[in-house]
Structure formats: C-alpha cells, structure tokens
Chain A
Amino acid sequence: MQMTAQAGTVSAAPRAKRLWWRDVVGIALIAACGAAGYWLFPDNLALLTRIVAVALLVLSIDLIVGYCGVATLGQAALFGAGAYAAGIACVNGVTEPMTLIAIGAVAGAVAGLVMGAIMLRAHGLAQLVLSIAIVQLFHEAANKASAYTGGSDGLAGLMVSPLFGIFEFDLWGKTAYLMGLALLLLVFIALKFVVASPFGMLCRGIKQDPLRIRAMGAFVFPVLLKMFVISGAVAGMGGALAAISTQVVGLDSVSFELSANALVMLVLGGLGTLYGALIGTVIFMGFEHMVSAINPFHWMTMVGALLIAVVIAAPGGLSSLFERFSASRGGKA
C-alpha cells in the first residue's frame, strides 16, 4: 500500500472522548458564568434574563445556519410566535410558567414547520429574501390582529403564577433569571445531543453537499424541515421566556431588526458550535448595554466598530479563538 499520507497516524482514537469531556467542562462553565452574573449584577437581572431569551433565539439560528447551511434573516418570526402564544395564553388564564414555556415551544415549532416548508422551496438568495418576507408577514399579522396581540401597543398585563407554585416572579427578576438560566442549560444540553445524533451528522452533510447526501440515499427536505421544527421550538421557548420575564409582548419580538441582530450575534460568536451562539449573544448585548450607557448617541457606531474588529481579527467568530488557542496549546503538549 503506497498511499501518500501526509501526517503520521497520531491523534486518531482519543478524539471522540476528548470532545465529550470538553462539552462537560463547557456546560459547567456556562452554568458558572450564569451564576456569576446572578451574584455580580443583582440590579441587572432583567437585562441578563433578556440575554438568556435572546441566546435561545441565537441558538435556534445556529441550528439552521450553522448546522444546515440555510441562511435566514427571519428567525424572530419563530421567537415572536412563542412570545405571543405564551402571552395570549397567559392573559386567557393559563398562568403556570412551565406550561407557558411549553406553549411557546409548541407555537415556535409550528411556526418553524410553516417557515421551513416555505423557505426550503427556494435556495440561496431567494431563500434569504423569503425569510425576510415571512418575518414581515408575521409582524404585520401581529400588528393587525390587535384584538389578540394588542397591536402596536403590545400585549400587556401578563400575570404569571409562581414557579412550581412556590417562587413568585419578584420585582428584581431573580426567579425569572434563574428559571431562564436553567432552561438555557437544559436546552443547550439537549441540543448538544441533537447535533451529536445521526440526524445531526446528516445535517452537517447536507450543509456541505446535498447532492452527495442524496447519492447516499437520504432525502434532504424532511431532514431540514425537522431541523426547522426543532429550531422553532427553541426560539419559541426564548420568546415565551421573554414574555414571562417582562410581562409584556411587543411587536419588536417579531421584527426583522431582532432577526438581523440575532444573526449578527451568531456570526460574532461563531457558527456551528452552539458555544459561539452564547458567546456572541453575551458579548453583543453586554457591549450594547455598556456603550449605550456611556454614550447614548453614538453607541451604534461603537457596536459597528466592534463587529468590524471581530470579523477581521477572527473571521470564524469569537469561539474560533478558543479553538485556535487550544489547538496551539495541544500542539505544544
């Protein structure tokens, strides 16, 4: 056998095991950061809860963009579907918070099914345009159906029951934040299993070469549609969390602007790792919060400058810096 292999036969077997440990450490780190936020910023728990809700949205985009290669600028349609479903259920007497999260997940999943069924008819730019059209339609529908959604005034007056009948949603947002953090961790762990499943591998294959996947005898459309449904459920939970924690649902939750910002956060953090989605969300929203406090007029300029700096210095997103760091460390060891 004369195959001209470039490198030696090192680093073959232990790969899978090492990745497994990395995820355990990663999830522990997320929990630690979340807990640290709780202790360090007790006055900003509302902002932190908002970050958690948006992090769920950005995670849901990563599933579609990072793992399937389908670009979307309309993901807030799914977030908003979850937010309005939870909000409408709440003002109609369903006030148990975990039930509301579940309602948000189901509404998001249904919206994801519709959105996927439409978007997957097209490819490339046309697909991107469709995603924008869909979020605009959702926005307009929410605006027009003001009897249910409150229209442009928003849906206010959500009175959520105590969590598990014990923990009241307090003025400082402690309960909402801790519930959101627990939800985020659970979703993150579940998604780590999803992307490590045969289904997750199939999606990665489709992202690289759908024709190859078909030649392997697998249909592409149902796989992508399934990912849209999962993604919708995740985004919908984010929307429901935002509704519960702020007790109001506004039209901004189904906006193009939120969709675009969330995509920017994902690119900032890095695609296709799930970690990048969290890092990007925290950095973007944290930076936005700090800079807008320092300079309320020019903060967008600063955010723009940050984006340009990151894209030039780390084209793979901030999470790729960790990869590079650990790779260079691993090389020396």
Chain B
Amino acid sequence: MSDLFRVENLSKSFGGLAVSREISLSMGAGERLALIGPNGAGKTTFVNLVTGQIKPSAGRVVLNGEDVTGLGAVRRVRKGLVRTFQVTRLFSELTPEEHVTLTLLQREGKASRIFSRFRGNSAVADEAHDILGALGLHEVARRKVGQIAYGQQRLLEIAIALALKPKVLLLDEPAAGVPSADTPRIEQALERLPPSLAVLMIEHDMDLVFRFAKRVVVLAAGEIIFEGLPSEVAADPKVREAYLGNYANARSVA
C-alpha cells in the first residue's frame, strides 16, 4: 500500500479496561478524515497513541512506510506527525509570535542555541509573520496569549502545528469551546490547510464535520464501528445506537 499514514490493530488497555481495541485505519496525502464518537469513546486516547504521548499495548503506527511505534513523541513530531490539543496548551506569558518563532527555530534545529538572539533570525521572523497572518493572528501577534480570545488561541494551536511542516496533522476538536461567532474563522483556517497535508480531525460539531471531511470514522467504546462517507453516517444503525446509548451526547447526530 502506498498510504502516507497507517495505523494497524492499535490497542491500549489500562489494567483490565480496554480503551482502544484493534483500531486500524489509513490515510493518503491530502486526505480529510473526521473521527467522531460519543464522549469517552477513546478519541483523544487514539491521538495520544498515534503521536506517542502514551505507549500502545499492541499494534503499529506507520508513517511513510516507516514503523514509528518505537519512537517517542518528539521524534514522531520531527518525522511529520503533529497534533493540536483539545484543551489549548499554550504558554500564557508568551505571545503568539514567540510561540511560532520558537516552533520554527526548533524545526530548523536552532532552538537550543545560547549564542544567538531569539528574534535575530530574519528568515524565521518572516515565516512566523506569514503563518500568523494566514490565520488572521496579526493584530494579536505581540500580545500575551493569556490576554487573547479563546478562538484566537485555537488558531494559534493550528499555527504552531503548521509551523512544524507536518505530513499528518491530528486536530483534537479544533472548534471546541469557541464562541459560535468565531467558528467561521476556524473553519476558514481548516479550509486553507495545505492541500497535500493528511488531516485527521476529531470534532463534535457535525456541521463542521460534514463540510470538512470526505470520510468519517466513528469510534465507540474504543472500537471503530463505522467507516464511510459523511452522508451515510447518520443513517447507520450501529452509529445511532452508540450515540443514543449515550443519551447525553445524542445532540447533533440524528
């Protein structure tokens, strides 16, 4: 197979509790895939397994034909497997510009230099400027992250991920917690992601999922119960059961 990214029989159990059961899926370059499922289905665990934050009990993660299962989180990022976080993990005392600059310096292998100025690299400064501009973060580029709107923080998460020039991007609920007035801005950012990038998005907002994804995977109780077109997902009996069984989360699917 010439898949860019492949997960084979990925499993994880904590003690006796299986949170991921034999998950297999693959993605090609430029693919847009949505991973949905009720709360507690193991979606974030899946992202953690794929990016190396936690070690799987069994299974493989393959990127570009290379088995990366044995690599730590940092090496996977360097190979192009990049994620964003469901709850933003940003440095509240630093500015968006500093976040992106630091990320770019890291990508260039210059982040641990002592004998250079943080802002001394003009190529990096220009690239940071472009990345922040493309996501509409220009005006707040030099304000502390703790003082900018939450929607802007979500965009900054995406900016940091893009600064790493990923091959595969895992977006963990990019629109979660964003006021509805600001979601179009997030959606616009998602539309403008590089065409060759393979994107897996976890999201609860089904409107966003339908507009964004060409393929949908549904996870319930750690297992894939559906894989197919967005137009088919709502009619699938197993999916309906999974969501209705978890009544509180029945909201947008139905």
Spell out A's residues near B (CB within 8 Å).
1-7, 9, 12-13, 15-16, 193-194, 196-202, 204-205, 208-209, 211-212, 214-219, 222-223, 226, 230
Contacts and interface: CB of A to CB of B under 8 A. Distances in A.
- Minimum-distance CB pairs A-B, first 9: A217-B77, A12-B142, A212-B89, A208-B91, A199-B114, A218-B106, A4-B149, A198-B105, A3-B149
Contact of A217 (B74, B92, B114, B152): B74
Contacts of A208: 91-93
Given A12-B141, A208-B91, 20 more contacts: A2-B182, A2-B185, A3-B136, A3-B148, A3-B149, A3-B151, A4-B151, A5-B139, A5-B140, A198-B110, A198-B113, A199-B112, A199-B113, A201-B101, A209-B91, A212-B91, A216-B77, A216-B102, A216-B164, A217-B164
Interface of B: 51, 53, 73-74, 77-78, 82-83, 85, 89-94, 98, 101-103, 105-107, 110-119, 136, 139-143, 147-149, 151-152, 160, 164, 179, 181-182, 184-185
Contact of A196 (B118, B152, B181): B118
Contacts of B91: 204-205, 208-209, 212
Contact of A3 (B98, B112, B116, B185): B185
Contacts of A215: 51, 73, 77, 82-83, 85, 89
A312 to B, nearest CB: 24
A201 B114 CA distance: 10
A211 B116 contact: no
A234 B92 CA distance: 29
Most buried by B among A5, A9, A217: A217
Nearest to B98: A201
B2 to A, nearest CB: 26
A201 B85 CA distance: 21
Contacts of B185: 1-3
A196 B113 CA distance: 11
Given A199-B112, A214-B74, A4 B179 contact: yes
Contact of B118 (A197, A214, A217, A219): A197
Contacts of A2: 181-182, 184-185
B122 to A, nearest CB: 14
Contacts of B152: 3, 5
Contact of A222 (B92, B112, B143): B112
Contacts of B118: 196-198, 200-201
Contacts of B83: 215
8 contacts: A12-B139, A198-B110, A198-B112, A205-B91, A208-B92, A214-B77, A216-B164, A222-B112
Contacts of A204: 91, 93-94
Contact of B106 (A1, A197, A217): A217
Contact of A197 (B103, B117, B143): B117
Given A2-B181, A12-B143, A211-B53, A202 B102 contact: yes
Most buried by B among A16, A209, A212, A226: A212
Contacts of B82: 215, 217
Most buried by B among A5, A6, A16, A209: A5
B110 to A, nearest CB: 6
A204 B94 CA distance: 9
Nearest to B110: A198
Nearest to B113: A198
A223 B102 CA distance: 14
A329 to B, nearest CB: 20
A12 B144 CA distance: 10
Contacts of A197: 113-118
A215 B102 CA distance: 12
B200 to A, nearest CB: 15
Nearest to A13: B142
Contacts of B102: 198, 201-202, 205, 216
A12 B143 CA distance: 7
A6 B110 contact: no
A9 B90 contact: no
Nearest to A10: B143
Contacts of B105: 198
A230 to B, nearest CB: 8
Contacts of A194: 114
A110 B219 CA distance: 52
Contacts of A205: 91, 94, 102
A4 B113 contact: no
B151 A223 contact: no
A197 B160 CA distance: 19
A71 B111 CA distance: 24
